[in-house]
A and B are shown apart, each in its own frame.
Chain A
Amino acid sequence: ETGVTQSPTHLIKTRGQQVTLRCSSQSGHNTVSWYQQALGQGPQFIFQYYREEENGRGNFPPRFSGLQFPNYSSELNVNALELDDSALYLCASSVKGLNTEAFFGQGTRLTVV
């Protein structure tokens, strides 16, 4: 167990709706990254948060947004859901700096119908 927890574990939403996914980082970790893993693919970097600010973003549209809170937990928000947003969403926490590794949560399985 990594100490990174995500909620909910599974979620079904309708196209056009909005969704919020949550992540609690491992104790002592100040950086949270979010990844999208489509079926049969490797995870794709969405963005990273450090000190409550976005600190790097992948090739995802603005309807993917996030927050980081003072306790380093984080939320991923997706507006105007599309069918292709169906995926496993993974949160990873780490400590900012060199020689660091990311620890992943179990993920949230989002299904858009």
Chain B
Amino acid sequence: AQSVTQPDIHITVSEGASLELRCNYSYGATPYLFWYVQSPGQGLQLLLKYFSGDTLVQGIKGFEAEFKRSQSSFNLRKPSVHWSDAAEYFCAALIYNQGGKLIFGQGTELSVKP
């Protein structure tokens, strides 16, 4: 069955430190992959996406993600975290042969300490 796994439920980093949020997917083919961010009580904002081509993709707010087929991973990174980055982050895979539904991971809550 298709699935997306985010192993870390909660991560705390210091402001200015680097960040890596993990995401693994299980799918028969290479899916389209996304990272979304959600502030409390809000909808989802797209940070970046991977469809094909260059495996390192750049997104908004200084985020990037690297697709690694051999590891079935799509980890999100940021070199220097800002306090405003505190939020919930979701990795998602697009399953196109099922009406284009998105399968989401459980999310990783990011806290930023001063």
Given contacts A2-B43, A101-B46, A103-B46, contact A45 B51 (CB under 8 A): no
A101 in contact with B41 given A41-B107, A56-B100 (CB within 8 Å): no
Is A48 in contact with chain B by the CB < 8 A criterion? yes
Q: Check B90 for interface membership: any CB of A closer than 8 A.
A: yes
* Complex contacts, B100 vs chain A, CB 8 Å: 31, 33, 48, 55-56, 94, 96, 100
Question: Interface residue count for A (Cβ, 8 Å)?
Answer: 35
List 4 A-B pairs, minimum CB-CB distance, nearest first: A56-B99, A42-B104, A45-B101, A104-B44
Binding site for B on A (CB under 8 A): 2, 4, 6, 31, 33, 35, 40-45, 47-48, 50, 55-58, 88, 90, 92, 94, 96, 98-107, 109
**What are 13 A-B pairs at a CB distance below 8 A?**
A6-B43, A40-B107, A43-B102, A45-B102, A55-B100, A56-B100, A57-B99, A58-B101, A98-B51, A102-B102, A104-B44, A105-B43, A106-B43
